[in-house]
Structure 1
Amino acid sequence: MENIPNPIIIQEFITESGASYHSIPLHFTLAGQPLHSAPIVLVNHALTGNSQVTGENGWWNDLIGEGKTIDTSVYTILAFDVPGNGTNSFLIENYLDFTARDIAKIFIEGVKALQIEKLFAIIGGSVGGGIAWEILALAPNITENLIPIASDWKSTDWLIANCFLQEQILNNSSKPIEDARIHAMLCYRSPESFKEKFQRTINQELLIFNIESWLAHHGKKLQKRFQLSSYKLMNQLLKTIDITRNSESFENLLSQTKASIHIVGINSDLFFTAKENVETYEELKKFKDNVFYSEIDSVHGHDAFLIEYKQLDHLLADIFKAETIKK
């Protein structure tokens, strides 16, 4: 992983809500081939992630690396930290100032600052996929491929409802990060996933159900590494994905792009449902040819995009290995 010590400084940024920021540091990482020497893949992280996508501590290193699906010997991997995600000292206290579209605008500025004319692909899971949709709607010629995984172009009522509950917990709980994480884990997994993993077993040491000790453990673990202001911000971004807000219709926005759109759903996702993904695909097919839908088959719910690497490799092989063959 090639770490770039100096962030890009986004100056005089005005958010969609009219808030003014004199300067916003945009931290990023580069991995794989040197910039401008190979096709570039932009990877957008999810709620508690960061720009460390590959290498020893990379959160997607089963997918990205030498000889992996997104091969670092073929591609340049670019990843931005969502400003305020807590990976560095810059934090955003007024989380309501920002929407997913603001982050998309900041990322586009970052791409321009690095003098990148065109990306080979933008890929992201969950809120990262939502930001990817927003980027394409704002800059239809920025990429050849859009790959939103376990995501969609808008936050549904169900998703907004869960984000609202998260916000209530984050603002009102005496242990906000722990409690919010416990609730979030219920959205990220599925009833079948818990059944398979725990079988109603008891933790003999604590004399509570294993599911309870597992949830408590995840709460404590996140509390140690994540900041409250970062959680509030990332939750707000998840709640505000909508490429059509104060904008044109879905068709008008997406008929402007020549990019291939590869939607990857998860059959057990309770957060961004497969049904919603299929509806998006069918809507796109009415006016666009190069749109594809594929589905991860898993009991693990939303988090399957971080678990089912073999399936993901199989579903993405055509996009990324074709580039290898072409060379």
Structure 2
Amino acid sequence: MKYLLRKVMLYVFIAWAALTMNFLIPRLMPGDPVALLVERLSGRIDPAAMDAIAESYGLTDAPLHVQYWDYLTSLAAGDLGLSIGFFPVPVSEIVLGALPWTIGLVGITTVISFLIGTGLGVVLAWRRGSRTDHLLPALTFLNAVPYFWMALILVLILSVNLGWFPVSHAYEPGLVPGWDWEFISSVLYHGILPAITIILASFAGWVLSMRNMTVTVLGEDYVTMAEAKGLPKRMVLVNYAARNAILPSVTGFALSLGAVVGGSMLTEVIFNYPGVGYTLFEAVQNQDFPLMQGLFLIISLAVIAANLVADVVYVFLDPRTRQEG
């Protein structure tokens, strides 16, 4: 379809722009990572090795277009450079170590909160004017509560006061990561409280937005016509109202999935959870520019990919986009 082809070409251009900006920003910033690394390793590094270190970071005296080509070649090979804070560990290794934790926690909870929120939003819209409207003030309050505040309150009540859940970490200290039940059960146990935090802090927004859109759609003429024809209420609600009301939420959900890679930084920091958000926090603290650069690139590409997926889903949900093609 022409519509999808245009979208793919657009996102390819945006991805190229993100890659290029990721290449230019560290070269336009004052200072360089090599000087910072040498300062930290003062007395433990041969000054003659500085040129080799600079080359490993892609900072050479070569023309800019040559550096850019080397940068793209390295990216194609999965090389994101070396970390300063964890020198000489490759950035790609650190990112790959943090991604599963964030995707496992934030990814799953984002999907759960979206499903609960949109489903409950449709029900509340259908039953508008009933006692279920009393839930709206509580949902509005939850939607206004910041993630970090929700996390701190739950930690204080459920961990510090009641002792039901651990305060921090992704698993019990001292355990060796593996596929044995002891480690898996520890990961699940430590992930319950962060998961509850994210779901409670995010699902209310989906409920309110889906309810409002569904109420608007229920007032459309085609829904009234479907009801006048005597179609079953469930069919009217799902096929006519919810299917059209969910379209704006698809974009929001795609952006949320893209943001999953970035993690809920403050939540991960509060729980000392070793995901992408916590790793980015550590990179900022350590002035680890290569690691920040690699994480920002991964997050940018994830958001771009999520938007592309949303446009593909739009093709199947909204027939008007197929007519444009």
- Please tell me whether Structure 1 or Structure 2 has the larger radius of gyration of its CA atoms: 2
TM-score (normalised: structure 2): 0.26
Larger RCO, structure (CA 8 Å, separation 6 or more): 2
